Amino acid sequence: MEEREILQKGEGRMDDKKKFLSVWLLLAGFVVLSVVVLVLCLRSDTRLPDTVGRELTEAEREAVKARNSPLTDYVYLSPNADFPRRSEIRKITIHHMAGDLGLEELGKAFGERDRRASANYAVGGDGRVALYVEEENRAWTSSSRENDDQAVTIEVANDEIGGDWHVGSAAYEALIDLCTDICERNGIRELSFTGDETGNLTIHKMFKEDTECPGPYLEEKMGEIAERVNERLKTETD
């Protein structure tokens, strides 16, 4: 064998070794990355309270209600939230359901992890109140982390699809009751609707350009909602 041939063969073997090594490095890197991703997923899941995304026992429901509004009729806790919220509660944000899904249906939707959406409360067309995210946690409702960290968010059922997105009187009166109760329990002395995010009564469209939420009907009522809640807060502290 020529000397050159021997050298070439030697180099060939070296190349094979290098290839072998890089395949193994690549594989090892992939395995390490998979483990890291898996651990991160498990960690973020284990951080969720065990009360989310399932029916609660009677005792669990009562315990949840005791920490939130006594006006609550239905509880189904959503995993789509930050546990706990980072700011103290200073605001209320109103949304509309874009229809009347029913509190149980909405609970099911918010119970799905993929939906990435929730609200603290919803008021049904019949005036019943649902709790989906406990007040101590931040619901994912208003397209603004900053707002939702400070706000209790409420979805209100409509009795008209489209148009003004009208809200019936049972839902409207229940909304006034719920807002008053949230203010009382969280030390909010007065609600003010300024038409922008500087007030402590806010609406979804202040934070998202391409939404009508909560619709013309409720938007027009914001000043009146603040007034009626404030009247009650005043008479109750007098």
In terms of CB distance, is 61 or 204 closer to Zn ion? 204
Closest distance to Zn ion from the beta carbon of 212 (Å): 9
Q: Where are the alpha helices (DSSP H) in 54-168?
A: 58-67, 103-111, 145-150
Give me the amino acid identity at 174.
A
Smaller CB separation from Zn ion, 157 or 213: 213
Enter the tokens of residue 172. Answer: 């409207």
CB closer to Zn ion out of 89 and 119? 119
| Closest distance of CB 107 from Zn ion, Å | 17
CA angle 213-126-51, nearest 5°? 75
Closest approach, Cβ 101 to Zn ion, in A, equals: 13
Q: Tell me which amino acid residue 202 is.
A: T
Q: Which residues contribute to the site for Zn ion (CB under 5 A)?
A: 95, 204, 213
CB-based burial, 133-162: b 16+ in 10 Å, e otherwise: bbbebbbbbbbbeebbbbbbbbbbbbbeee
Q: How far is the CB of 64 from Zn ion (least distance, A)?
A: 24
- Closer of 145 and 185 to Zn ion (Cβ): 145
